[in-house]
Chain A
């Protein structure tokens, strides 16, 4: 009863996804830290007008939107990396949305995937 719970097929895309994830994480971290630093060092900067909004709202909303944009970009690249590097074996859910599988492993094997 020990160890990884389920045996996934080898994911050749995992290292590229991990690397991309870490870079995107640091990119977001820099923007987030920038927000905190401006708040602490120069709160007045936050009140400057940006059109009908101000810096505080634009930056805050920007952080929310940036999170969404990075998330979609990461998923896009990861999905393509999985398709390319795993020869289409690893991708299952894109094609059969809404269908729930009752037994993952049986289906993995039926599709020709190898256990790790």
Chain B
């Protein structure tokens, strides 16, 4: 669809950026010491830190990615919400207090607190850097795609702008300003998401959603076909001229028709004997891109998402709904979802989106995105992939560097626990809202099928430009906040773990802050470059990988140091390295990477699953146990001194 930047959105966005920069300036004077820079002086109140946790965690993947995935794939997107929240249980019950008790500025401090091992300092710092960068890429890509509709700027300009603002935030005031930015953003995100859900309920659901009267509903038409089983298709409406047939994969058939000089592509529905209108993005041989055969500005690429019947009635509108009746209405109706098919045609490439009427009860159950039902053709590897994803989400949270460093911003272990509980309450509440925002977008005729990440902001736009402007500014702030947290984590790994401790440079307090700031600028610049290079990659997909890498590299070491007294430094080093290398290796050799990153078509990848956690996490645990037993036996005395 064609995005026209709204002046309101620009004004709100600029005011938000201005207030963020003022916060940074205000706190800059507090950050003369290393403790102030890397851990906000350890004096943030637990309630503020809890909401800031929510701000850190509810990144672009949560707000834009999950809502978008629910809007196109129904319940399967909600699986991410469930898994992301479950991860906090590991953080609260296993990691929160001991991590606070053992560390000072970084996760490496905590891992190394019993061993004082150069090896641990090095590998833990590397792991922090790798996971932070993996997590930074989708955030920067998300920033770029968000800025395009919001301010009408190209992708690269969005990435550079986010990168620059974040570098200023981090380099001026480090963790203190990052924390208050996150607090502000986390709170606003939850309040306005709740407002949006109430608005969805009060509008109800219609089979002809017209965005509150703002955008007329586009009725997708059909053309009757005379004897569709015959080889050559003949149509009832003779004002259309059949140009040619485009074969799709399997039994899919598409027809190119022409009327008054304009070409369009239709899907042949043999069962019902009709041609159905589609949405098409055509990339012509000369590089021109057409949306439904016209320029983007002509606005012929319609927003989609509606119910074709409610309670058996093809022309219905409900009144105000509530938490239960909203779900019930969808369950008892049929939702029109859209499937994608790419068809080559004489040097041109058509990406065709065609209708797929789906019973509401299927929309509200798992299986539309992840194949898990054997009766619907799910293979064993599909099921393992699903289990692996749920495992990565569960174990990844408590091992993410930007989450772990937030335990050092509060005064004591009890505050670490309390802030985690505030985070669970805030994040849990938000994730319940994602289901309603996603399903709301699914039935409100607001989805831009070429960019499902925009579903939640576009749902807001259907209620007026003000709430759209606010939600978009918050979505942008979401990216800003998460990127700042990641850059603080990465700069801590470089300045504190690598330079000060591993290389033994004994930087004074002031020099350590200076090194941290220089590292923040360097990491920020790398993130800008990667954000531009990875344009077009799926945001949620990349975040899933970051979780898998964090769960494999960091979590086994954290858990075993806390609960297994015979853990040795060598065991921890081996476990981090094996977890990191195996998770990265499996990702790089997976089918998903072959198709989406290397663009290799019809090549079978050596690794049959896309999420590595189910292999790499147990492997990392086993390595730690084996190496610890071996090295402890060799030294004939255990290196560790008991649990914490």
Contact = CB atoms under 8 A, between A and B. Distances in A.
A47 B75 CA distance: 11
B366 interface: yes
B94 A43 contact: no
Interface in B108-122: 109, 112-113, 116
Contact of A68 (B47, B413, B428): B428
B412 A74 contact: no
B365 interface: yes
Given A11-B413, A64-B82, A90-B414, A32 B394 contact: yes
Nearest to A2: B116
Contact of B97 (A1, A6, A14, A61): A14
Interface stretch (B320-328, B344-352, B602-610): B320-328
Contacts of B41: 102
A46 B364 CA distance: 9
Interface string B319-342: 000001101100100000000000
A71 B43 contact: no
A4 B45 contact: no
B373 A44 contact: yes
B500 A8 contact: no
A80 B394 CA distance: 29
Nearest to B102: A4
B415 interface: yes
Contacts of B293: none
Contact of A8 (B325, B412, B424): B412
B88 interface: yes
Given A28-B89, A51-B324, A79-B414, A57 B97 contact: no
Nearest to A5: B104
Contacts of A11: 413
B296 interface: no
B615 interface: no
Interface in B354-374: 361-362, 364-367, 372-373
Number of contact residues on B: which range applies?
A: 35 or more
B331 A52 contact: yes
Contacts of B386: 36, 39-40
A95 to B, nearest CB: 12
A91 B417 CA distance: 13
A78 interface: yes
A26 to B, nearest CB: 9
A25 B94 contact: yes
Contact of B412 (A54, A75, A104): A104
A67 B573 CA distance: 32
A72 B421 contact: yes
Contacts of B500: 1
Contacts of A110: none
Contacts of B90: 25
Contacts of A70: 89
B86 A67 contact: yes
Contact of B366 (A5, A43, A71, A93): A43
A64 B431 contact: yes
B82 A39 contact: no
Contact of B93 (A22, A65, A97): A22
B428 A54 contact: no
A40 B383 CA distance: 6
Given A14-B97, A67-B86, A57 B45 contact: no
Nearest to A32: B86
Given A8-B412, A39-B366, A93-B45, A47 B361 contact: yes
Contacts of B97: 14, 17
A67 B428 contact: yes
A43 B373 contact: yes
Contacts, number: 170
Contacts of B373: 43-44
A67 B92 CA distance: 10
B342 to A, nearest CB: 29
Interface in A56-90: 56-57, 60-61, 63-65, 67-68, 70-72, 74-75, 78-79, 82, 90
B42 interface: yes
A78 B417 contact: yes
Contact of B81 (A2, A54, A64): A64
Contacts of B82: 35, 60, 63-64
A70 B88 CA distance: 11
Contacts of B361: 47, 54
B501 A75 contact: no
B413 A8 contact: yes
A71 B421 contact: yes
A4 B113 CA distance: 6
Given A5-B104, A53-B324, A63 B85 contact: yes
Contact of A100 (B45, B88, B387): B45
B535 interface: no
B411 interface: yes
Interface in A18-36: 18, 21-22, 24-25, 28-29, 32, 35-36
A54 B421 contact: no
B359 to A, nearest CB: 10
B47 A97 contact: yes
B93 A93 contact: no
B94 A47 contact: no
A1 B505 CA distance: 12
Contacts of A36: 386-387, 390
A92 B89 contact: no
A19 to B, nearest CB: 11
Nearest to A24: B93
Interface string B54-87: 0000000000000000000001001101100110
Contact of B88 (A46, A57, A60, A67): A67
Given A22-B94, A93-B411, A57 B435 contact: yes
A112 interface: no
B86 A68 contact: no
A8 B101 contact: yes
Nearest to B30: A102
Contact of B43 (A60, A91, A102): A102
A1 B530 CA distance: 35
Contact of B42 (A4, A6, A39): A6
28 contacts: A3-B113, A5-B105, A5-B408, A6-B104, A8-B101, A8-B412, A22-B93, A24-B93, A28-B93, A32-B86, A32-B394, A36-B386, A43-B366, A51-B324, A54-B331, A54-B361, A57-B75, A60-B78, A60-B81, A60-B435, A61-B435, A71-B421, A71-B425, A74-B93, A97-B45, A98-B45, A101-B411, A104-B43
> Which 7 A-B pairs give the minimum distances between C-beta atoms?
A5-B104, A52-B328, A21-B93, A25-B93, A43-B373, A52-B324, A47-B365
Given A46-B366, A68-B425, 7 more contacts: A2-B113, A5-B105, A21-B94, A22-B93, A53-B324, A60-B435, A101-B411
